[in-house]
Structure 1
Amino acid sequence: MILCSGRHMFYGKPAIVKAWSSKFDFQAEVLRTVPLWVKFPNLPLNYWGVDTLSRIGSLLGVSNCADECTTRLMRVSFARVLIEVDITKELPSSVLLESPNGEIIELKAIFEWKPPFCKKCNKAGHDCAAVKSGPPDSEQVQATPAAALGNVNHDDGWRVVGRKNKSIHNVRNSQPIAQSSAFLALNVEDGGFFHQHWRGGLNDPGRVVNVKRLLRNHSIEVIGLLETKVKQGKFKTLQKKFRLSWSWVDNYSYSQKGRIWVRWNSDVINLDVLTVHEQFIHCAVSHRDSTAPILCTFVYGLHSIHDRKALWTGIQTLGLQQDPWICVGDFNSVLCSADRINGNPVSDYEVRDFQGFVDIMEFCEVKSKGPFYSWSDKAHEGPKNCTRIDRGLVNQSWLDIYGHVEAFFLNPALSDHSPVLIELCSAPSSQGRPFRFLNCIAKHDQF
């Protein structure tokens, strides 16, 4: 039954399941073929047929299946196919196709994960030829005068971060750091979380206008603001720019920078603040016409691995919950190797704490659509460093009630982060999907 239920993936890596045999020998068998997800960006529309995708995949190995978005043409920026490939050979970065008019097309092939294979040991999972550099046991911070160093990138993997009129510290550059603020909201009645980062914070009156516009356009009743860059003394003044019927809570008492604000419309929303922490605010939210609350944890993770340990342990102290629970925000951490491209390679040390936290809390990621990577460095030259550090994690009770809910990652607008919209609407009816017709099909020669 397990063998026939399809491929099993954990954090983007396949679980190899085989039928048991009394003569099976772990030492004798060599793992050669592994199912891997492969993306084909900018695939021409006339190559999106099932048979054509299977033939393209056969250039790399044995095609198994395509994901739902590819099969239903819900996303046309790239096709995603699961292919069994021989990892003992070098994985190609592109394939050559011949168009109907005889033109040769080079199609880029992006492997979401490339498993290491050691030719010396003839085993998968490691590579003796690769340089082994273990991470430090703890994050090291060393103060150095600003005039002596300035902003310099060293070749040894350390980066010097400088600020005006402040001392400079050597900080381990383990991942790209998003220096921006965030917008996060919940509409309990119609149902919707909205997550948007704002460059420069809310000190700019234009940012406040944009927040108010989003509140109005999406009918949002609860909003969380992350990394607003507003000092505590100006907090009350900025509150007056919003409707007076809204109530506020913040974490200035735990963080001098007050990185997390939560505000809600007290006329229609009951919100009970359960826990306030330096890196999250945990609350119970319900509509006044409804008696069933949901638990919501607004998260803004700090930038270093060491500082985020308090985030993981803090949420773990809340314990497993029986009510529907969503933990959403900017975690400032990737969860697996597929969550970053064009940046520093993702190490086990970097994701170990986050993965352990997800396993202990029995969380899973809410279904999502749109761009996979939620943050990029907006590089003008060369490839962009892209990561997935914004996400929503939910428990089993949430899946039982809101299993149909999806997170929509919108295109970045005012920031280098993708807005995330999660609509909590009633379960969809069992009606069929509407017929979809692409106008380009009518121009095909064989139509």
Structure 2
Amino acid sequence: MSIISWNCRGLGIPRSVRALTRLVRAEAPLLIFLVETKAKVSHISRLQTKLDYTQGIIVPSDGKSGGLALLWKEGTNVWTHKYSNSHIDVVVTNTTSNMRWRATGFYGHPDTQKRHTSWKLLECIHSQLSLPWLVFGDFNEITHVEEKCGWAERNADQMMAFRNALDACDLQDLGFSGSNYTWCNGRFGSQRTLIRLDRMVANAEWMNLF
């Protein structure tokens, strides 16, 4: 089983659509979570047809910002629980074993001063259902200074608030392979910044299943 979670920073560029199409064909994921689509429902619907992932939940962008989508193929047993402009929460059922687990695509608030609302949302989602749980997406925060390279120091209280939220929800980082960082500010020299903002976390029950 594979799941794709990608902050695409806009799907209006043909190059982005081609890259996503290649990735989906190579990985054949169960779920595709797209963050910052910056697109209307009609645009995502056309993309769904192209990918043959015709089922899902689309949260349209607010003008030229935001936008989420969680997509899956027809025939996949997925029940939509709740969603907002910051998350999409579903329950996946294995049709052969009848095993159920939660999948939550998550987008942390891009404004540092409002990010505490993201952690309150995460804890609220945690309290709503008791199932094996996987959360994935762009959290817009790091847990430790080692997840950032370059320029200004990260506020320690910000990182602690994120760690506390993960602990409160019994979520553990699943680790990664490849690059240590998932975002770059595109600058060079002393102002260049690399950060690991994207991750997958899960509770012990989910890790025991997979």
- Say whether 1:217 aligns with 2:26: yes
Distance 2:114 2:177 in 1: 30
What is the aligned counterpart of 1:270 among 59, 66, 77? Answer: 77
Q: Deviations over 1:56-104 (max 9, x none)?
A: xxxxxxxxxxxxxxxxxxxxxxxxxxxxxxxxxxxxxxxxxxxxxxxxx
- Which residue number in structure 2 is paired with residue 347 of structure 1? 155
Q: What SS does structure 1 have at the residue aligned with 2:125?
A: coil
Mapping of residues 193-272 of structure 1, within 5 Å:
193-199=3-9, 201-232=10-41, 234-243=43-52, 246-252=54-60, 257=65, 259-267=67-75, 269-272=76-79
Q: Deviations over 1:29-48 (max 9, x none)?
A: xxxxxxxxxxxxxxxxxxxx
Going from structure 1 to structure 2, the CA distance change for 1:265 and 1:287 (only over 3 Å counts) comes to farther
Equivalent residue letter for 1:219: A
Distance 1:221 1:360 in 2: 28
- Which residue number in structure 1 is paired with residue 88 of structure 2? 281
What is the aligned counterpart of 2:102 among 295, 310, 328? Answer: 295
Q: Which has the higher helix share?
A: 2
What displacement does 1:285 show? Answer: 1.5
Contact 2:80-2:91 within 8 A present in 1 as well: yes
What displacement does 1:233 show? Answer: 5.3
What displacement does 1:221 show? Answer: 3.1
TM-score scaled by structure 1?
0.43
Distance 2:120 2:93 in 1: 26
What displacement does 1:258 show? Answer: 5.3
Distance 1:265 1:355 in 2: 34
What displacement does 1:311 show? Answer: 1.8
Equivalent residue letter for 1:391: R
What is the aligned counterpart of 1:389 among 185, 197, 204? Answer: 197
Mapping of residues 37-436 of structure 1, within 5 Å:
191-199=1-9, 201-232=10-41, 234-243=43-52, 246-252=54-60, 257=65, 259-267=67-75, 269-320=76-127, 322-382=130-190, 384-402=192-210
Q: What SS does structure 1 have at the residue aligned with 2:11?
A: coil
Going from structure 1 to structure 2, the CA distance change for 1:366 and 1:227 (only over 3 Å counts) comes to same
Contact 1:324-1:398 within 8 A present in 2 as well: yes
Contact 2:150-2:190 within 8 A present in 1 as well: no
Structure 1 residues without counterparts, runs of 5 or longer? 1-190, 403-447
What displacement does 1:306 show? Answer: 3.0
Distance 2:58 2:22 in 1: 22
Distance 1:233 1:246 in 2: 12
Equivalent residue letter for 2:154: V
- Which residue number in structure 2 is paired with residue 56 of structure 1? none
Q: What SS does structure 2 have at the residue aligned with 1:369?
A: coil
Contact 1:282-1:297 within 8 A present in 2 as well: yes
Equivalent residue letter for 1:355: R
Going from structure 1 to structure 2, the CA distance change for 1:375 and 1:213 (only over 3 Å counts) comes to same
Indicate the percent of aligned positions where both proteins have the same amino acid: 21
Equivalent residue letter for 1:260: L
Contact 1:250-1:258 within 8 A present in 2 as well: no
Equivalent residue letter for 1:293: R
Contact 2:11-2:17 within 8 A present in 1 as well: yes
Going from structure 1 to structure 2, the CA distance change for 1:284 and 1:340 (only over 3 Å counts) comes to same
What displacement does 1:348 show? Answer: 2.2
TM-score scaled by structure 2?
0.86
What displacement does 1:271 show? Answer: 0.9
Distance 2:81 2:3 in 1: 19
Q: What SS does structure 2 have at the residue aligned with 1:241?
A: helix
Q: Deviations over 1:96-142 (max 9, x none)?
A: xxxxxxxxxxxxxxxxxxxxxxxxxxxxxxxxxxxxxxxxxxxxxxx
Equivalent residue letter for 1:224: F
Structure 2 residues without counterparts, runs of 5 or longer? none
Equivalent residue letter for 1:275: K
Q: What SS does structure 1 have at the residue aligned with 2:50?
A: coil
Ranked by relative contact order (alpha carbons within 8 Å, sequence separation 6 or more), the top structure is 2
Going from structure 1 to structure 2, the CA distance change for 1:382 and 1:258 (only over 3 Å counts) comes to closer
What displacement does 1:202 show? Answer: 1.1
